[in-house]
Chain A
Amino acid sequence: MAIRCVVVTPERTELDKEADFVALPMFDGELGVQGGRAPMIGRLGYGVLRLQTTAGPQRFFVDGGFAQVESDVVNVLTARAIPVDLLNTDEATKSLAEALEMPSETPEQSQIKETAVLRARGQLRASR
C-alpha cells in the first residue's frame, strides 16, 4: 500500500511523492512508516529521511521539525530538506568543530551548544 510523503519547508513544498515505505529520523531514533500506520505526531531530530519509492530509494537530510502521520499521509515539517548528495562533508566537519567550541557555562548555554552539536553530527553522518 502506497503512502504519500509531503515534505514542507517554510520556503516551499520540497517534496510530494508516493512511497512504499518512509523512514523518519525521529528525535530519539529512526521510525519506519508503512501504509496503515496509526495517526502520530512526532518530533524529528537531525538525520536522514529515507523514502522507498517505485523509482528507487531517496534520501534527504532534514533539519529538525515535526512529522505527522495520518491516514497514509506523512507530513514532514522541517526548516531544511536537502538531498543527501548535495551535502558537503568538509562543511559539516567545520560546523561540528564550531559547535564544539561554543561556550557552556550556564545551563541555557550548554543546551544551545548541545543542539548545535547534535545538528552538526547529524549533518556529518548524513553527508558520508
Chain B
Amino acid sequence: MANARALDKRRKSIRNIRKITRTMELIATARYKKAMDRAAAATAYTDQITKIVSQLADAGTDVQHPLLEQREKIRSSRVLVLASNRGLCGGYNASILRTAMPHIKQVKDEIANVTVDVSGKRGVNGLKFRGINTDNKYLQFEDQPAYDEVEKIANDYLAQYITGKIDRLDVIYTKFISTSKQIPMIETLLPLGSLGGDAEGSGPGAGSDENSQYEFLPSAESILEEVVPTSFKVKLFKCFLDSAVSEQVARMIAMKGATESAGDMIKQLSMTYNRARQSQITGEIMEIIGGVEALGG
C-alpha cells in the first residue's frame, strides 16, 4: 500500500494546481467576453462598409480595383500565421501550425519566393522547431489587438503589394464560429477577390428601398479607391480579432477541462489516501493486539 504521507502531499499539490487552472479559466472567460464585444463593434464597421459597396454597385459603378484582380504571374508571396503569445490553451496553437505547415510547403513548391510572417511567441517557436524561417515576428498582440497596430501591418502589406514586391498574401488564423467551434482557416487577403464577402446576401436587401439616390462625393470612383484598401485593413483586423477570441475560448475550455480532471484526481487520491490510512491504522491495531496476546499468553 502506498505511503499515506506521500499521497497527502500529492493531493495538496494537485489542489494548488486546480486553484491556478480555475483562476485561469475565470480570467479567460472575462477576456473572452471583452474580446467578443470588440469583435461585435468591428462588425458594425464592416456592415457599413458593405452597405457602401453595395450602394456603389447599385449606382452602376464598375467595381474594379488593382487590389481586387488576380495577378497573372505570382512570383513572390507572403504567408502570415496568427498564433498566440501564451500556451495553456489546448490545441489552439497546434491546430494552427498543423494547418500552416502543409500550406507553406505547398506554396513553396508553387512559388519560388515565399516569406513567412508570424504573430505570437508560440507560433514563432513552433515554426522554428519545424525548420521554417520567419521574417517578421509580431509579439505585441494579446487579447485585445489594437487597430492602430494592425493597420501598420496592413499598410506595409498594401505598400508591398502595390509596388509589386509581393503578389499574394495568405493569412492563416483561427476563425471563430461559435463558442464550441473554431476552425483554423487559410484566407487569401491579397488580392482581395470580392468586396462584399460573406455579407453580400444581407447588404443589398437592407438598403434597396432608398439606394441609387445617393450623391457620391467627389465621385464613385474616388470612393471605390478608398473603400478597397479600407476593406482589406478591416478584414485583416477581423482576422486578428477572431484569433484573439478563439484563443480565449480555447484557453477557457482547456482550463475548464484541467480543473475538472484535477477535481477527479483529488477524489481518486483521497480515496486511496483514506484506504492507505485505514490499512495503516488496522495494521497498527493488529500489532498492538498481537503484542498484548503475546504478553498475556
Residues in A lying within 8 Å of B, measured CB to CB: 8-13, 26-28, 31, 38-43, 64-66, 68, 70, 75, 77, 79-80, 106, 108-109, 111-112
Contacts and interface: CB of A to CB of B under 8 A. Distances in A.
Contacts of A68: 48, 51-52
B148 A27 contact: no
A94 B111 CA distance: 40
Nearest to B47: A8
A128 to B, nearest CB: 22
Q: Provide the main secondary structure of the chain B interface.
A: helix
A71 B245 CA distance: 36
Interface in B13-68: 38, 41-42, 44-45, 48-49, 51-52, 55-56
Contact of B218 (A39, A43, A75, A109): A43
B146 interface: yes
B214 interface: yes
A31 B226 CA distance: 18
Nearest to B218: A28
Interface string B207-219: 0001001111110
Given A41-B215, A43-B218, A75-B48, A106 B163 contact: yes
B162 A11 contact: no
Contact of B162 (A9, A39, A108): A108
Nearest to B155: A112
B199 interface: no
Given A79-B147, A109-B163, A112-B162, A39 B210 contact: yes
19 contacts: A9-B45, A10-B233, A10-B237, A11-B41, A13-B41, A13-B44, A26-B217, A27-B226, A39-B215, A40-B216, A43-B226, A77-B48, A77-B52, A79-B151, A80-B148, A108-B164, A109-B163, A112-B159, A112-B162
Given A68-B48, A77-B49, A108 B218 contact: no
